[in-house]
Amino acid sequence: MKIIKNILESIPVLSLSKKNRIIIGAALIIPLYIVSWLLSIFIGILSTTLSEFLGISNLGLLLLRVCQIIIFYFLSLIGVKLILNSRNLGIHFGKKGLYDFIIGSVVGGFSVIFIFIIMCNTGMLRIETYAFQRMPLISFVWVFFTFIISNLSIGFTEEIVFRGYLVKVFKSAYGKGLTVILSGLIFSFFHLIFTPLDNISQMLWILFELIPAGLLLSWIYVNTKSLLLVISLHASYNFAQQALDIYGRYGENNNWDKMVILGNSIHGSRILVGTTEGSAGLIHLLSIIIMFIMMIIFIKKFRGKNDNIA
């Protein structure tokens, strides 16, 4: 921690006007992401080599995910130091942080499972099992733990950058409303850079998941100041989607038959479940709406409406 503190203290602060702060701050998202992923590739090679040398399955993936969180967090701290002269992204541990993390995990998972159960029982979704693999209990526990860490890594890395960093940049110059819209849209469309899909898949993904999720997560962070809350919402939402295999035959494409005991393929109309490439369908939008309703209740009941980002 002392080393990180010393490094951050050595980072110069850019003297910028409000306009330039927003332009440069938003543009910095690209190198933040690219440099982080390039470093992750290097870490991935090392961790995979170590995993094979020790003969421990999935150790390489586990180490990679942990390192990704550290890399994204550290580079985002450098970003806010450069732009805002701040050394805090909004992650607060302790009793309050743990409470927010638990609430987010429950709400994110429930929002997916609730809609999933309804659609399955009304015949709107059809489940087909495509993979079954017997494995010892200890192997299953290890694989399941790796699966959890992988989803937490996605939640941490994306929320650290797009909420912890980007929202702080926009909030330094704009009000809540514009901050939510700008950060949410940048989060949404940034995903398309790395995902080559056909036009219909992109349209479904943008309208049914990316934009609603981006706006919702930004709105929650602006109104709660809790990065752990949006991290857990994001991670548990992804976890539930993948565990239930909402994305068409997404699991099969990623060789889940080597990862889990049972793999499912969800079938339904394309507009309902998305496509085999992993784009979103109506089930995703409904899950996000449920999450939104639950978070409105949570914020009104347990949070002040006029909180500002720390």
Per-residue pLDDT 10s for the chain (310 aa) are 677 777 888 888 888 888 888 888 888 888 887 888 788 777 778 877 877 777 776 777 788 888 888 888 888 998 888 898 888 887 877 888 899 999 999 999 999 989 888 888 887 777 766 555 566 677 677 777 877 888 888 899 999 999 999 999 998 888 999 999 999 999 988 887 766 666 677 778 888 889 999 999 999 999 888 999 999 999 999 888 877 766 544 344 444 444 444 455 666 677 777 765 557 888 889 999 999 999 999 988 876 544 544 4
pLDDT recorded at residue 310: 40
Q: Helix and strand tally (H, E) in the chain?
A: 14, 2
Distance between CA atoms of 220 and 232, rounded to whole angstroms? 12
pTM of the model: 0.85
Q: Check residue 256 and give its pLDDT.
A: 42
| DSSP 8-class letter at 261 | S
pLDDT value of residue 216: 96
User: How many other β-carbons are positioned within 10 Å of the β-carbon of residue 4?
Assistant: 14
Q: Give the pLDDT confidence score for residue 85 in this predicted structure.
A: 87
CB 303 within 8 A of CB 280: no
User: 3-state DSSP call for residue 262?
Assistant: strand
Task: Name residue 266's beta-bridge partners.
Answer: 127
Predicted local confidence at residue 246, as pLDDT: 66
| Torsion region of 274: left, alpha or beta (phi above 0 gives left; psi -120 to 50 gives alpha) | left
Residues 6+ apart with CB under 8 A from 154: 234, 235, 238
Give CA 284 to chain center in angstroms. Answer: 15
